[in-house]
A and B are shown apart, each in its own frame.
Chain A
């Protein structure tokens, strides 16, 4: 009996060309698959994609909105990527983002008459600290007890989100908000300055500086060297005397601080008050962005802009009746395609002719 089988073989080394190409391939694959769904729901995929492109990148307003949207994604994704360098899955950027926003809002609301040079630095510190603490909660059990951080970071997201919901529905609700779940507006001193007369704000500078710093620290510093070795081979790192537990805690805290800074920037520059709809899932998009960017800080920054465009374009596409959920679907497809192309980078598919002697059963155990 002659049968054809597909076999996955491990590659010796991923080709450098493919490493570069695979994120592009993933995006194209996701768009093609998305087109199938769009066509099935009665839309012309080309038209939808055109509207999205047009909304996100065709004019200065679209581009500025794309950049605005990319800021929280970028800060969260840099944190996710940093943790992933040490083989930690920080799925909790969304929660760290919310806690950062909460702490910053708390500072802003308790110092309504302080000048900007006092309140803004405090908001930045509070936002980063709150994000770091929110990441510390899962980091410590992960480092010292081996508790799986994927589950704990994910579950803490809900705690953070509902905490913010509670505040804006309860203690923090502005009496003049007509029962809308909103806090009182921040003083103008507590608003992060915007740039170029658009909604683009100082958060973009924070994010780009963070990307540069991470790149520098990972590439040049002794600590960055430890992170690299731990990520590549934790057993070798331990053998070489590196303190893995402390590095897990430290890396997670930094990741949380970055996401917390994202939350601070968003609540201060964009919302101007605490609301329950700060994030359409920036912290989750960040996971996809981090892997599409292959954990490289600059690539992550670039992919964040693409994802900002995807969200902004999604709003434009709603003009022709495409539901907002389609954008979520496209994001989800991209994650699938990233994972698929990652796998293809490490394995190659081969077709083999398998000749099996008839009447012979496969072994029970190897």
Chain B
């Protein structure tokens, strides 16, 4: 034991999954009584590392010491036995149970007779001690998201946890709730507890943490006391990559706007504001990229534009016509193609065959058969042409789409979407989960679209993809556009700052032109 008192030390942790190294010789040392921020993009290895620390995953190699003693973590229960607990981003609470019932759930202490009174007393004690106001008799479904998070924290305290891992705790909170959470965390550390705070938001790191570790691509690339660094430095460490020279391609023949979005707001599935006054343009012949960490409103933006989610205010204009809150069908007919994030869940019907999937947006029109009848022969001929042209590898057209590889089903989806009459493509994470070959195929299709004068809104988490393809990149964070950068003025550090919630500095060129 040295002079510094570490609550948790993880040394040389490696964890491989098929095809990827999620943790690559990672070291992490967390001082007792401190708030330690773990910063990184999606897929940087934050969750893997924390799942190892909470006993959900076992490392392939490396060692873990808790309060200076080497331990083996076999299960979440053994982690909790050592005082390590986690508050997940998606809460694990039974909606119809009370707060107190949820807190004792899974514990063996009251063996048979459940007397809630002492539990409620204890909950009240934690509540007042740490500012975690919650009524122990309330049912979970009656509580706001912020209150549910407090229940999760109390659950961990009740189990005697003194190292608390919070996984992106502010993602679901209102600004007021964030204040209260930070106050709670400060009180807890003052009481000697240790917090590991997973986030990708720089301002939160700067505000709340004592020390910060940056993870990138499975490695710990940077660690220092928060007071000795700046958010600019952290942003560059987080994004990390040098900007490669953007690949050469013919200059875009940019035309008039095909998509104009102004002041767009929308409510998400959790009934919070997910889009908060979005202004955005896509012009004919350009690819306009939307960068950002997942869950900042990207999916919802695409849904509102394509009519799958209601806008609560603002408007969406397509080729000059107001299409705000029109039906998906009339938006399709206005010339909008959509490559959704969840290709098998939304874009395709996996149990149906290739032909049925290929005609999904085309069966209504006359060329697929007159009147109420689908002309099966024409549908097959049409599908045959698509499969041929887009190189979809399949035994035959009767094959169910779920049996296709990810790359082939995405090719089929793109084939369908780019073969219809369209002026705008809304593509959401179009290459996620695809191998290199399929990714290149998708990229070349998108570039071909650009050359043919179609406007593309490309939503992606992959910065390299955006840099390779886009004419402009806007950054979205918490449902707001933080800024827009032209292709020839790309500055990764600035994009990293905006992704982490720091607004762009005023910079004439890159910004959205006012009006249309």
24 CB contacts below 8 A, A to B, read A221-B373, A222-B373, A228-B352, A229-B360, A233-B350, A236-B348, A238-B328, A239-B308, A239-B328, A240-B361, A241-B327, A241-B328, A241-B329, A241-B364, A361-B77, A361-B108, A362-B75, A363-B55, A363-B56, A363-B76, A363-B77, A364-B77, A364-B105, A366-B56
**B363 CB, nearest partner CB in chain A, Å:** 6
Q: A229-B352, A240-B361, A361-B78 are in contact. List 7 more A-B contacts (CB 8 A).
A: A223-B372, A233-B345, A236-B347, A237-B349, A241-B332, A360-B74, A361-B75
**A227 CB, nearest partner CB in chain B, Å:** 12
Instruction: List the B side residues contacting A239 at CB < 8 Å.
Output: 306, 308, 328, 338, 340, 346-347
Instruction: List the A side residues contacting B338 at CB < 8 Å.
Output: 239
Most central of A239, A361, A362 by chain B CB within 10 Å: A239
Q: When each residue 1-26 of chain A gets 1 if its CB lies under 8 Å from chain B and 0 otherwise, what string results?
A: 00000000000010000000000000
Instruction: List the B side residues contacting A225 at CB < 8 Å.
Output: 356, 359, 363, 374
Q: When each residue 426-449 of chain B gets 1 if its CB lies under 8 Å from chain A and 0 otherwise, what string results?
A: 000000000000000000000000
* CB <8 Å contact, B364 and A362: no
Using known A-B contacts A360-B74, A360-B78, A364-B106, determine if residue A235 contacts B352 with beta carbons closer than 8 Å. no
* CB <8 Å contact, B76 and A365: yes
Instruction: List the A side residues contacting B77 at CB < 8 Å.
Output: 360-364
A243 at the interface (CB under 8 A from B): yes
**B383 CB, nearest partner CB in chain A, Å:** 14
* CB <8 Å contact, A238 and B372: no
Instruction: List the B side residues contacting A13 at CB < 8 Å.
Output: 400, 403
B349 CB contact (under 8 Å) in A220, A221, A229, A362: A229
Instruction: List the A side residues contacting B363 at CB < 8 Å.
Output: 222, 225
Range of interface residues on chain A? 20 to 34
Range of interface residues on chain B? 35 or more
B-side binding surface: helix, strand, loop or mixed? Answer: loop
* CB <8 Å contact, B356 and A222: no
A357 at the interface (CB under 8 A from B): yes
B369 at the interface (CB under 8 A from A): yes
Q: How far is the CA of A360 from the CA of B333 in the complex (A)?
A: 59
Q: How far is the CA of A185 from the CA of B398 in the complex (A)?
A: 55
Q: Which residue of B lies closest to A357 (CB)?
A: B74
* CB <8 Å contact, A220 and B373: yes
Instruction: List the A side residues contacting B369 at CB < 8 Å.
Output: 222
Q: How far is the CA of A206 from the CA of B376 in the complex (A)?
A: 28
9 closest A-B pairs by beta carbon, nearest first, are A241-B329, A364-B106, A233-B349, A363-B76, A232-B349, A361-B77, A240-B360, A365-B92, A241-B328
B346 CB contact (under 8 Å) in A235, A243, A360, A364: A235
Q: Which residue of A lies closest to B108 (CB)?
A: A361
The B-contacting residues of A in range 71-123, CB under 8 angstroms, are: none
The B-contacting residues of A in range 142-170, CB under 8 angstroms, are: none
* CB <8 Å contact, A220 and B76: no
Q: Which residue of A lies closest to B361 (CB)?
A: A240
**A21 CB, nearest partner CB in chain B, Å:** 20
Q: How far is the CA of A225 from the CA of B369 in the complex (A)?
A: 13
Q: How far is the CA of A223 from the CA of B329 in the complex (A)?
A: 15
